[in-house]
């Protein structure tokens, strides 16, 4: 795969008007009902020590949508994703500038990055599923129930019901219903990943983050996880980082393209892939670099 020369790529980032003649457009996409904004990123920059990883990113995330973040390795996709649940706070020498506001009760009144906001509370509201399945060395049941107990839910009936509901939503119920006492690490990779999704769903997160959730899975397990993500559309706001262009196109409502720490554009997925407004985006989704 050819690589876009750095100088040309940088010029394209700095001058978004630099583009060839517009691409031929396909059929107009169907009109989608407007969704309220669930979270708003405002002029977000992020540093790893002295290294700038995100530069002045602004982005709206709509209630119940699936937003895909694409871009070459090292462009800031995972860095942006982890800002939403303050994962960077676990490491010294990292800092934010800007805001991520999340709507609570239909009002923008929580800045997730505010120093006065407890990161633990943020992570209860914003769940995350990682690239590699990371079940706890506990039973299948306790993996899903763990977060509920941390949250202070002690009623056995409520815990049992929420664990079952989460496993059903994560499409892992039928495969493990009769072996809930089995240690979760004995499951297959795909089952482990869906169990981790069930663990996140049990907390009833307002936003669910996926960081390359299928990159370590076989095609059958990948299809099941994708079906699961699509089934959450409308009820759970989902942000997924992926290198898989076909996956982004299959499952997402909108797609954001990042390059060198900047958000180049974000639009309806069909438009990003078929008639992107920026030349750099067109070259990336067509495979000319990345």
Tell me what pLDDT residue 35 has: 80
Query: Is 42 domain-assigned?
Result: yes
Orientation angle between helical segments 156-169 and 140-150, nearest 10 degrees: 120
Q: How far apart are CA 219 and CA 217, in angstroms?
A: 7
Q: How far apart are CA 238 and CA 206, in angstroms?
A: 9
How open is the CA angle 131-35-224, to the nearest 5 degrees?
A: 30
280: which 2 tokens?
């750099």
Query: Is 237 domain-assigned?
Result: yes
Does residue 201 contact residue 235 with C-beta atoms inside 8 Å? no
Tell me what pLDDT residue 20 has: 37
Query: Is 25 domain-assigned?
Result: no
**Residue whose entry in the numeric block shows the structure tokens 């499409």:** 171
Rounded alpha-carbon distances, angstroms, from residue 91 to 41, 43, 120, 121, 133: 22, 22, 15, 18, 21
Rounded alpha-carbon distances, angstroms, from residue 249 to 18, 66, 76, 242, 261: 25, 11, 20, 10, 22
Tell me what pLDDT residue 170 has: 87
Q: The dihedral of CA 109, 97, 259, 81: what is its sign?
A: negative
Whole domain around residue 79: which residue ranges? 36-134+209-285
Orientation angle between helical segments 189-201 and 140-150, nearest 10 degrees: 30
Does residue 51 contact residue 115 with C-beta atoms inside 8 Å? no
Rounded alpha-carbon distances, angstroms, from residue 179 to 139, 140, 174, 183: 9, 8, 10, 9
Domains: count for the chain = 1
Contacts for 62 with CB less than 8 Å, ≥ 6 apart: 35, 36, 37, 38, 237, 253, 254
Query: Is 176 domain-assigned?
Result: no
For residue 282, give the nearest of 264, 261, 263 by alpha carbon. Answer: 264
For residue 148, give the nearest of 133, 131, 165, 132 by alpha carbon. Answer: 165
Residue-averaged pLDDT of the chain:
87
Query: Is 157 domain-assigned?
Result: no
C-beta atoms surrounding 19 within 10 Å = 16
C-beta atoms surrounding 40 within 10 Å = 16
Strand-pair category, 37-48 with 94-104: antiparallel
Farthest-apart Cα atoms in the chain, separation: 63
Query: Is 249 domain-assigned?
Result: yes
Going across the sheet that includes 37-48, the strands are: 51-62, 37-48, 94-104, 107-111
How open is the CA angle 235-239-243, to the nearest 5 degrees?
A: 140
Query: pLDDT by residue for the chain (290 residues), tens digit each?
Result: 444 443 444 444 444 444 333 333 444 444 455 688 999 999 999 999 999 999 999 999 999 999 999 999 999 999 999 999 999 998 888 999 999 999 987 666 899 999 999 998 899 899 999 999 999 999 999 999 998 988 889 899 999 999 999 988 888 888 888 889 999 999 999 999 999 999 999 999 999 999 999 998 889 889 989 999 999 999 899 999 999 999 999 999 999 999 999 999 999 999 999 999 999 999 999 988 87
Tell me what pLDDT residue 33 has: 55
CATH code for the domain in which residue 118 is found: 3.40.50.300
Tell me what pLDDT residue 250 has: 96
């Amino acid at each position: 795969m050819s690589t876009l020369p750095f100088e040309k790529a940088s010029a394209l980032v700095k001058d978004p008007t630099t583009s060839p003649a517009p691409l031929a457009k396909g059929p107009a996409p169907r009109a989608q009902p407007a969704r309220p904004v669930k979270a708003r990123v405002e002029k977000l920059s992020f540093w790893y020590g002295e290294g700038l990883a995100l530069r002045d990113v602004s982005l709206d995330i709509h209630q119940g949508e699936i937003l895909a973040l694409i871009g070459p390795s090292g462009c800031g996709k995972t860095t942006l994703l982890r800002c939403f649940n303050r994962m960077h706070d676990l490491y010294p020498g990292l800092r934010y500038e800007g805001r991520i506001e999340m709507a609570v009760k239909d009002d923008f009144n929580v800045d997730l990055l505010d120093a006065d906001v407890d990161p633990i509370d943020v992570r209860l509201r914003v769940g995350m599923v990682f690239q590699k399945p990371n079940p706890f060395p506990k039973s299948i049941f306790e993996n899903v129930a763990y977060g509920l107990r941390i949250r202070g839910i002690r009623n056995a009936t409520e815990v049992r019901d929420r664990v079952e509901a989460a496993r059903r939503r994560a499409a892992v119920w039928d495969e493990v219903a009769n072996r809930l006492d089995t240690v979760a690490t004995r499951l297959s990779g795909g089952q482990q990943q869906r169990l981790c999704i069930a663990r996140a769903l049990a907390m009833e997160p307002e936003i669910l983050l996926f960081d390359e959730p299928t990159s370590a899975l076989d095609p059958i397990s990948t299809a099941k996880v994708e079906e699961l993500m699509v089934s959450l559309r409308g009820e759970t706001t989902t942000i997924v980082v992926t290198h898989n262009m076909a996956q982004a196109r299959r499952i997402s409502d909108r797609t954001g393209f990042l390059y060198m720490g900047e958000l180049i554009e974000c639009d309806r997925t069909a438009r990003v892939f078929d008639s992107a407004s920026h030349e750099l985006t067109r070259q990336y989704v067509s495979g000319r670099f990345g």
